A and B are shown apart, each in its own frame.
Chain A
Amino acid sequence: MKKLIKHCAPACTAVLIFITMTLSSCTTMGGLLTNLATEIAVNEGVISRDTATRVQSAVEKSETASQGFTVEQEYSIGRGVASSILASYPLYQKEELTLYVNLVLQSLVANSETLEMINGYHAAVLDTNEINAFATSGGHILITKGLLKCAQSEDELACILAHELAHIQLQHNINAITAERKKDAGKAWGEALVSVAADNVDAMKELQNDFETVINTGAVLFESGYPQSQEFAADKKALEYAAAAGYNVKAMESVLEMLDKNTKPGQTGFGKNHPTPTSRLKSLKDQYNLYPSFNTEKVRTDRFNQAIKSL
């Protein structure tokens, strides 16, 4: 009997994996079922502990790639991506300005439904005159001094921050990372199904490589920018956020016009794939009247001018 079971071991493993894949309909089900099934199989002597571990790890990776990351993982990745950017650009540490930018951000967050963030949303200014901004899946929104100088009112700053907030909600950064990870998952599957030999992979090294790959994918977007369609989508969603908070959506138009003036011909001012301000203005042309119109209040512009005095 035991001989028969051992003989069927590879077939059993394959059947177990197939069952868990077809039955996984809930977020963590695939992993739960796999762990249960493989543990039973190990106890019955059908598969070795090593094989069980490899199957579990493969399902975990594949599940992660196909169903997205957990909130905790997105936060961790967001921190990693932010750390990578902050290794290149120092923080502009002026408390009054940082507080102000965070208040504008929270004004947007308070008025719209936003994705759950482990540690909330935080904004910071980068000490560079380059024109750029970045948002991570961990809720970090980084905006350069150069971009801040392109804004002439709180409403314009709000539109810039709303655009970054939109990238987070639309999960552009994390989706790019997920796509990258899917390539990795295929490799893990192959290893688990074929190998019943002793497991000599250094688990820590594997984790470390995984983390680095994920961070690099996210950080590279800071240089190249998102696909144009995603930039246009973020622009549209930004108007929604701005209007919900009571900001003047037309401020998006004026800040894009300023960006247009400040960027050299052929450059976008952002990553090389970024759409030009002109194309963004065109894409938004008929969007403004979809939202209630508010004036750019003087009280807001006054406090904006006060806050950016140090720039």
Chain B
Amino acid sequence: MEIMKKLLILIAMLVCSFACFAQSKMYVKNDGNSALSLRSEPKMFAKSKVKVAVGTEVNILETSADGKWVYVEVAVRKNQKGWTQKNLLSQRKPSTKSSASAKELALAGKGFNSEVEALYAQSGNGNFDSVDLIESFSVDEDSVFIFLSDGKLKGGQ
């Protein structure tokens, strides 16, 4: 009995320490856009050198002085390098599905699944059609850039 308890504690501690330190990879987040631009400079709307897909694994090579930008290389294609905003990367590999089915995957997360959402909707409680409609309305990066420039706002020309 004593030996088994000790074995369990040992295994638990080993697993804990192993998982705690495996934090070095980063992945391109799914923030509603299908791809992320790696740029020539640590500036918004700087020239895009290459676009990488959501979920792509990257290694951080350098961080800007203010900590907001990182220079990364694509893990499996190291010649693809560039600057991106740190908050567009995640330590967790995100869903690579399109935004339409991101909902399904997200709901499949612990506890709440699409069945639960459907039941909630069926009982007349929630209007998910409108939510889907809201989420389907997106503005592309180029339009935002033009909007910023025309409006004499930061991040535009």
- Seen from chain A, the residues whose Cβ lies within 8 Å of a Cβ on chain B are 4-5, 8, 12, 15-16, 19-20, 23-26, 28-29, 32-33, 36-37, 40-41, 44, 60, 64, 70-73, 75-77, 79-80, 82-84, 86-87, 90-91, 93, 98-99, 102-103, 106-107, 110-111, 113-114, 116-122, 124, 140, 142, 154, 204, 207-208, 210-212, 215, 244-247, 297, 299-300, 303
Say how far A7's CB is from chain B's closest CB, in angstroms: 9
Known: A76-B106, A114-B87, A154-B151. A83 touches B134 (CB 8 A): no
With most chain A CB atoms within 10 A of its CB, the pick from B99, B103, B108 is B103
B68 neighbours in A (Cβ, 8 Å) = 113
- Say yes or no: is B79 at the interface (Cβ < 8 Å to chain A): no
List 14 A-B residue pairs with CB atoms under 8 Å apart, sorted by A's residue number. Answer: A64-B111, A76-B117, A79-B128, A83-B125, A86-B130, A102-B137, A103-B144, A103-B147, A106-B139, A107-B151, A120-B32, A124-B134, A142-B134, A211-B120
* Chain B residues, Cβ within 8 Å of A70: 109-110
Cβ of A107 and Cβ of B148 under 8 Å apart?
Answer: yes
Complex Cα spacing A70 to B112, Å: 11
Q: Which residues of B contact A83 (CB under 8 A)?
A: 120-121, 125-128, 130-131
Task: Report B77 CB to chain A, min CB distance, Å.
Answer: 24
Query: Closest residue of chain A to B94, judged by CB?
Result: A118
Q: Which B residues are in CB contact (< 8 Å) with A207?
A: 111-113, 116
A211 to B126, CA, bound (A): 12
Point out the residues of chain A lying under 8 angstroms from B130, CB to CB: 82-83, 86, 90-91
Distance A32 CA – B125 CA, assembled complex (angstroms): 34
Residue in chain A with minimal CB distance to B113: A207
Taken together as a complex, chains A and B put the C-alpha atoms of A116 and B117 apart, in Å, by 22
A37-B8, A87-B125 known; A110+B144 contact, CB < 8 A: yes
Q: A19-B12, A204-B115, A303-B151 are in contact. Are A80 and B126 (CB under 8 A)?
A: yes
Closest to A26 in B: B20
Q: Is the CB of A91 within 8 A of B133?
A: yes
Q: Cβ of B76 < 8 Å from any Cβ of A?
A: no
Q: Are A86 and B127 in contact (CB under 8 A)?
A: yes
**Supplied contacts A79-B103, A107-B153, A299-B150, 10 more A-B pairs, CB within 8 Å:** A25-B20, A26-B16, A73-B112, A79-B107, A83-B125, A87-B127, A91-B133, A103-B147, A111-B155, A119-B99
Are B102 and A119 in contact, CB atoms less than 8 angstroms apart?
yes
Given contacts A107-B147, A212-B120, A299-B152, contact A36 B11 (CB under 8 A): yes
Candidates A36, A111, A215; contact of B120 at CB < 8 Å: A215
State whether B152 touches A245 (Cβ < 8 A).
no
Main secondary structure of the interface of A (DSSP, over half): helix
CB-CB < 8 A to A110: which residues of B? 44, 144, 148, 155
Known A102-B139, A117-B31: A208·B116 in contact at CB below 8 Å: yes
**Cβ of B29: which chain A residues have Cβ within 8 Å of it?**
116
Total residues of chain B contacting the partner, CB 8 A: 66
Residues of B close to A247: CB separation below 8 A: 153
CA–CA, A246 and B152, complex, Å: 8
- Given the known interface contacts A15-B5, A37-B8, A102-B137, the answer about A29 and B127 at a Cβ–Cβ threshold of 8 Å is no
Min CB distance A144 to B, Å, is 14
Chain B residues whose C-beta falls within 8 Å of the C-beta of A26 in the assembled complex: 16, 19-20
Counting from the closest, the 9 A-B pairs by CB-CB distance are A120-B32, A83-B126, A72-B109, A86-B130, A86-B127, A246-B154, A246-B153, A72-B106, A87-B127
Known contacts: A20-B12, A33-B15, A247-B153. The answer to whether A122 contacts B125 by CB under 8 A is no
> Given A79-B128, A110-B155, A245-B155: A4 and B120 within 8 A (CB)?
no
Q: A33-B16, A76-B106, A86-B131 are in contact. Are A120 and B126 (CB under 8 A)?
A: no
Select B134's contact among A12, A37, A122, A208, beta carbons within 8 Å: A122
Q: Which residue of B lies closest to A34 (CB)?
A: B12
> Which chain B residues (62-116) contact chain A, with CB distance < 8 Å?
68, 85, 87, 90, 92, 94-95, 99, 102-103, 105-113, 115-116
Scoring A64, A118, A215, A297 by chain B CB atoms within 10 A of each residue's CB, the highest score goes to A118
Interfacial chain B residues near A154, Cβ < 8 Å = 151
